[in-house]
Structure 1
Amino acid sequence: MKSITLLIFLLSFSLLAQDEITTTLQKQDSLKADVFVSKNNFESLYFIKDNTIIKKEKDQSYNYSNIQLGNITTVNTFNPLKINVFYADLNTIIILDNRLAEISKLDFNTSQPYKNISHVTTGFDNTLWLFNQDNQYLELYDYKTKKTRYKTIPVASKVLDLTSNYNFCWLLTEHYLYCYNYFGSVVYKVKNDGFLKIKASNENVIIQTENTLIFYNSKSKKLLPIILPNMLISQFSVTNQILYIYNRKLLYQYQLKTD
């Protein structure tokens, strides 16, 4: 009888533990930035200050600025050798290397056919995921051949955010969070219940709402709250199991416990 009671207790504890994601604060650092972009396993820190992208390492730093293209809309550092910088006002993407030197310039105002882009994220090889807001679909674009490899079915609601890894792309709209494979097929979709921003975390997604962060487990299909102190979240990023949160003054580094 005691053995059965103990087994029930352990099972109950296991199920309970899977209903939330706990965190451990590892460190916090001062940071003066307009926008925090990301930090990786090699301690490379990326942020935007005065419309300039800055990469800081232990012994040196690099920067990139192009005032002719207007304000920076987004920076994606998932592939640190091919960083993409999006300037929405001029419908242009710049590809940078690991020292923030320009590799390619993609001006979609002169492309044939014309593409009106609202969101950009990294694909595999020499590809980018682009959201074409005139046609309301995602396309996997090869910027070397200047051809679209795949297109998704159009979506019917406003797009809020876009994130990716090499295998999947996640599109957040006002109605749903969509997950696509690299052929442009829908893997799953989740109803948007106050989701504002998203970041890929391996095969899962970290979701920002008005007051907190949520972990979406792609295997269990569960939305799990991430346990954090009450704090302002200006920007966040995630690298493997490390969550970074910036509150306009401090950059916090948390270890996520997802198992």
Structure 2
Amino acid sequence: MEDAEVLKELYETIKQNSKADYAGIIEQRASYPYLYHLSQIRENLVSFLPFDKDMRVLECNPECGALTGKLLAMAGGVTALAESELQEKILRERFMEPQEREKLDIRRQLPEHGRFDVILIAGHFYRWEKQLPALRELLAPGGKFYVADANRIGLKYLAGCQEEYCGGYFTGIDGYPDAAAVGRFGRSYSRAEYTRLLQEAGFGGLTFYYPYPDHKFPSVIYSDEWLPQKGELAEGRSNYDRDRVACFNERVMFDSLLEEGVFQTFSNSFLIEAVQEG
């Protein structure tokens, strides 16, 4: 989460401007928090999911609403769990149209009762790891549970991008040796680790999608049925918020991973669909 001063600036920006102004504001500010919280590209992560107007959605990590507006347009109602009072103010200011207000329920704590057709955690999965069983109980029969987050052994981190949460080069690759930093900033997981954590919490039927270049600014979403072709993953842009080094040619390495049949293991990020088992 951004610090309070940045969120205050974002709140004033959202309060004084319409959604149509966001693209120009991003260009003018040239600041990562504005790109991250206001970019319409963020919506690509969820826009292809099979929502309908009768669905109730629980958004566990709404932050400043980058995905919330798309969820409101796709579903019948969204319960957003704001992390702070300031974040709640931003969400209320950003979605103040009558049709949005009617469908948006902002809370500060996880509901104790109710059933949701879709539960979404986009980023900061580590914050919810211990609450997965409680989230499972809130999922309606036949509902879908979605997790989107970084892959700690994703190719971009091997190639010289800094770690998603703690920062630093190869931090996740090295298994997060600084436990204090993980406790303060968080961490991401590998494909096998996400699978284990979800299955231990009672989720099954896992389907993996592969946002590229990552889950934050996806230009395309791949799946096991539709994998990238050789030469398709040519972009080297990632980690807009941190400096990086270039250890090798990512395009060439991605082609090698595709030829070896292990692209899915080293995808930069995952979007995981799960269902309630039992």
TM-score of the pair, normalised by structure 2? 0.30
Structure with greater helix share of residues: 2
TM-score of the pair, normalised by structure 1? 0.32
Structure with greater strand share of residues: 1
Select the structure of larger CA radius of gyration.
Answer: 1
